[in-house]
A and B are shown apart, each in its own frame.
Chain A
Amino acid sequence: MDKSILELQGVAMSEADLARVVAIAKPANEKAREAAEARLQFEDEPAHYQGFLHARS
């Protein structure tokens, strides 16, 4: 997570702003990655969410 990502996005950010944003995004990224590695299965896909909501109504 560094300036190269922001270059890809085309958004300029000061060093201080980037440090602040990275401090939020880095731990969230790691936590989500760990959770996905532990739980995500091949069959999981976003469309199932809609189906689940309707099935449980």
Chain B
Amino acid sequence: MLGLSLVEAAEAIRRRKISSVELTQAAIERARKLGAGLNCFALLEAEEALKAAKKSDRARGKRGPLHGVPLAHKDLFYRKGKVVACGSKIRADFVAGTTATVLERMSAAGAVSIGALHMAEFAFSPTGYNEHYGHPRNPWNRAHVPGGSSSGSGAAVAARIVFGSLGSDTGGSVRLPAAICGLTGLKPTITRVSRAGVMPLSHSIDCVGPLARTARDCARLMEVISGADPADPTCTSLPVPRYEKALDGKARGLRIGVPRSYFYDPVSAEIRKILEASLDAYRRIGAKVVEVDIPDMSVINTFMHIVMTVEAATIHRRWLQARRKDYSDQVAGRIEPGLLYPATRYAEALALRARLTREFVDQALAKADVLHLPAVPIPVPTIEETTRGDPADVARVIGVIGYCTRGLNYLGLPAISVPCGFDSKGLPVGFQLAGRPFSEGTLLRAADAYQRVTDWHRREPA
């Protein structure tokens, strides 16, 4: 029963074919069996989860869209009265005074939380690297990284422990673990989802998004978590579309743009072949694939780096001053450049954001509804390849993992990662679809249409 998708599990509970207690018990047992080996849980809360599941089964009247479904989320969403360590030593004893709006919305929709999921230290690694609590492992092959920074989310959903998970995405932290673990992951448009009660990495770039097995699962989760929030004044008041209802399986006439430059440049031959096969699948269901030009991504990536590191350094400066030794070198080393940029450079990066985003959308999406991009341009590396050996080699591997994701964060555009095959070592490969601001519905429809004619998202690790 843990092999069901989130939507299938919710429907099975709704039709009383299965109880929340049965599902939650199964999830807890699987977490106990696999959780330690994968190192994907920060905290497993079996007793509380079973109590909540029993309450779900007893509930009468109207039920929410996630009623009784066991889930768990990245350990940076505040939960009132609970320790929220954010994968760090610095916040190892931090007890949250509030609950994140997105978690309140998950509870209101009926979800059962079974705990908090492990993550990269302060959400700072595209591999999932965590020196303090150990590296989470990829369920497809434990020698390999699960992707980060929502590493526990990727591992726990892929290992069929929970049906879905919320992560945060500042440079690819939802899309990378989704792609690397064979899942579907959506980074919404900036401001689409509330960030109240979420430990920030970079407040003008952070996004909250779902990782799950299918696009339909993500659509359901997005409907639950999206929408205006008085606790987060940056959150948009645009109405939330009926994402799930709009999934009609159709891709006929969909215009898919494939950039002529940048995104495919570092893609290995093996990955390229798999990505091309995904485009063929789209052609077969009536989509039109067109080549498109895009603006200079190196400028966009540079501004992204400046905004992210300056905002992170603003958050972490006092801790770096007093407790530098409680950071791993890899994480402190990524934050510290932010201490050196002049305020004028940061202000320029924010001032140019509208201009650069407009240019990107006008150029790249002039003749396309969505862009088809690699998620990760190289085969999934091993943990060793991203932690040991020549520092320059390690930095190069880590840098290339987020090559195709991070620029979209500065632009604030939505993007979804979709599983589309496996490399020669049996590790998952994914593609991204990116779109115009607030085009999450289009991305989910396109991903769902692909998943109706392929079965990559249904494959499970041995």
Q: Which residues of A pack against B, CB within 8 Å?
A: 1, 5-6, 9-13, 17, 20-22, 24-25, 28-29, 31-33, 35-36, 39-41, 44-46, 48-54, 56-57
Q: Which of A35, A44, A50, A51 contacts B302 (CB 8 A)?
A: A35
State A50–B317 Cα separation when bound (angstroms).
28
- Supposing A51-B354, A56-B436 touch, asked if A6 and B302 sit within 8 A by C-beta, the answer is no
| Residues 123-169 of B contacting A (Cβ, < 8 Å) | none
**Nearest 8 A/B pairs, CB to CB:** A57-B438, A48-B354, A36-B348, A49-B354, A25-B337, A46-B350, A25-B340, A53-B437
Q: Which of B189, B190, B352 contacts A44 (CB 8 A)?
A: B352
State A5–B358 Cα separation when bound (angstroms).
34
B345 and A44 contacting across the interface, CB-CB below 8 Å: no
B436 and A20 contacting across the interface, CB-CB below 8 Å: no
Write the chain A residue with the least CB distance to B356. A39
Q: Which of B189, B340, B354, B439 contacts A5 (CB 8 A)?
A: B340
Q: Which residues of B pack against A, CB within 8 Å?
A: 189-191, 236, 238, 298-299, 302-303, 305-306, 313, 317, 320-321, 324, 333, 336-337, 339-342, 345, 347-355, 357-358, 361, 412, 436-439
B350 and A49 contacting across the interface, CB-CB below 8 Å: yes
State A9–B341 Cα separation when bound (angstroms).
11
Q: Which of B339, B342, B348, B358 contacts A40 (CB 8 A)?
A: B348
Can you name 25 A-B pairs with beta carbons within 8 Å? A5-B340, A9-B321, A11-B321, A17-B333, A21-B337, A21-B339, A21-B340, A25-B337, A28-B305, A28-B337, A29-B306, A31-B299, A32-B302, A32-B348, A35-B299, A35-B302, A36-B352, A39-B352, A46-B350, A46-B353, A48-B354, A49-B357, A53-B189, A53-B190, A53-B191
- Supposing A21-B336, A24-B337 touch, asked if A46 and B351 sit within 8 A by C-beta, the answer is yes
**Residues of B contacting A41 in the complex (Cβ-Cβ under 8 angstroms):** 355
Write the chain A residue with the least CB distance to B357. A52
Q: Which of A22, A33, A40 contacts B340 (CB 8 A)?
A: A22
B349 and A32 contacting across the interface, CB-CB below 8 Å: yes
**Residues of A contacting B350 in the complex (Cβ-Cβ under 8 angstroms):** 46, 49
**Residues of B contacting A11 in the complex (Cβ-Cβ under 8 angstroms):** 317, 320-321, 324, 336, 339
**Residues of B contacting A39 in the complex (Cβ-Cβ under 8 angstroms):** 352, 355
Shortest distance between the CB of A31 and any CB in chain B (Å): 5
**Residues of B contacting A40 in the complex (Cβ-Cβ under 8 angstroms):** 348, 351-352
B191 and A5 contacting across the interface, CB-CB below 8 Å: no
A32 and B358 contacting across the interface, CB-CB below 8 Å: no
Shortest distance between the CB of A7 and any CB in chain B (Å): 11
State A46–B203 Cα separation when bound (angstroms).
14
State A1–B342 Cα separation when bound (angstroms).
10
- Supposing A29-B345, A32-B303 touch, asked if A13 and B354 sit within 8 A by C-beta, the answer is no
A35 and B352 contacting across the interface, CB-CB below 8 Å: yes
A50 and B191 contacting across the interface, CB-CB below 8 Å: yes
Shortest distance between the CB of B362 and any CB in chain A (Å): 9
Shortest distance between the CB of A1 and any CB in chain B (Å): 5
Write the chain A residue with the least CB distance to B190. A53
Shortest distance between the CB of B325 and any CB in chain A (Å): 11
State A32–B347 Cα separation when bound (angstroms).
11
